[in-house]
């Protein structure tokens, strides 16, 4: 007979077992958090290097000259998909014109600004209105050399070289107005071509000298008076030769 008064052995209660496991669980959680933080730091150091770039401190309307007060330096993580202007290019950006509406807080890209072009003496600015199918797929920018080709119903095509001065907004129907500078003698001819709607805008090759190219077998008309050289428009960037304003002939 078992002695009376001696309690029988019993297993630890559920609460006691839970208390024993709790320190181990906490230690494991702390270790996982530390490992996650270390991995995040490594990932940040490998992909999150910060670089100083230019951003807009305030809105700059299309065509307005960019001032130093319009710009601010921002530090962003490097990303091959983003190619904003470096903070070191600040002096180069100041004084150029906005090629589109620039919004506050946006990064400043090289395509957002272009040199402040001035129409030369002896030149006139003609607005070339064209549909999407009449323009090159590449985005036109101020300072780019182009060739406006006229394709009449009868007769051979004619062409005039020109320099892009400003680029208007794309309309809802895809049409766009591009202001170009040409020799004063060529302006009426170009305006009549634009009014007919039978034109095609062609990009002139970079580095082209002595005027823009003409259609095969067709000489570009020369609007400059005989014996008078048409003034040359300034180039917008290195490697892009400005057309003479008169037709290349």
* Average pLDDT, integer, range 23-47: 65
pLDDT tens-digit map of 118-127: 678 899 999 9
Comparison of pLDDT for 17 and 182, the residue scoring more: 182
Could you give the 3-state DSSP secondary structure of residue 65? strand
Domain annotation for the chain: domains and CATH numbers: 50-114 (3.90.1210.10), 117-249 (no CATH)
Task: Write a three-state SS string for 121-185.
Answer: CCEEEEEEEECHHHCCCCCCCCCCEEEEEECCCCCCCEEEEEEEEEECCCCCCCCEEEEEEEEHH
What's the chain's Rg over C-alpha atoms?
34
Contact 52, 81 (CB under 8 A): no
DSSP letter, residue 2: P
Using pLDDT thresholds of 50, 70 and 90, give the confidence band for residue 81: confident
pLDDT at 5: 54
In the chain, the percentage of residues whose pLDDT exceeds 70 is 65
Average pLDDT, the chain: 75
Q: Which of 178, 233, 151 is nearest to 246 (CA)?
A: 233
pLDDT at 210: 35
Using pLDDT thresholds of 50, 70 and 90, give the confidence band for residue 209: very low
How far apart CA 166 and CA 149 sit, in angstroms, is: 19
pTM of the model: 0.45
CB atoms closer than 10 angstroms to residue 63: 17
Integer CA distances (angstroms), 25 to 13, 17, 22, 37, 39, in order: 19, 13, 5, 18, 21
Distant-in-sequence, close-in-space partners of 156: CB < 8 Å, separation ≥ 6: 215, 217, 218
Position 56 pLDDT exceeds 90 = yes
Position 160 pLDDT exceeds 60 = yes
Contact 61, 113 (CB under 8 A): no
* Average pLDDT, integer, range 82-111: 90
* Average pLDDT, integer, range 218-246: 40
Comparison of pLDDT for 46 and 99, the residue scoring more: 99
How far apart CA 71 and CA 112 sit, in angstroms, is: 13
């Amino acid at each position: 007979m078992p002695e009376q008064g001696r309690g029988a052995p019993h297993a630890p209660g559920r609460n006691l077992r839970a208390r024993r496991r709790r320190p181990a669980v906490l230690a494991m959680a702390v270790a996982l958090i530390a490992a996650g933080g270390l991995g995040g730091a490594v990932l940040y150091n490998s992909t999150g290097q910060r670089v100083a770039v230019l951003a807009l401190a305030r809105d700059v309307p299309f065509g307005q000259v960019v001032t130093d007060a319009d710009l601010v330096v921002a530090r962003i993580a490097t990303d091959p998909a983003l190619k904003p202007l470096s903070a070191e290019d600040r002096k180069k950006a100041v004084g150029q014109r906005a090629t589109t509406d620039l919004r506050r807080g946006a990064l400043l890209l090289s395509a957002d600004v272009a040199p402040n072009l001035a129409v030369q003496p002896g030149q006139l600015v003609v607005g070339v209105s064209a549909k999407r199918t009449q323009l090159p797929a590449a985005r036109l920018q101020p300072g780019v050399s182009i060739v406006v080709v006229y394709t009449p119903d009868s007769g051979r095509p004619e062409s005039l070289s020109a320099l892009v001065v400003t680029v208007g907004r794309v309309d809802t129907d895809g049409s766009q107005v591009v202001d170009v500078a040409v020799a004063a003698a060529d302006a009426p001819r170009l305006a009549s071509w634009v009014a007919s709607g039978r034109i095609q805008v062609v990009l002139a090759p970079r580095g082209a000298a002595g005027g823009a190219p003409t259609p095969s077998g067709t000489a570009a008309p020369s609007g400059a008076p005989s014996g008078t050289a048409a003034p040359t428009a300034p180039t917008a960037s290195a490697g892009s030769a400005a057309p003479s304003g008169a037709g290349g002939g």
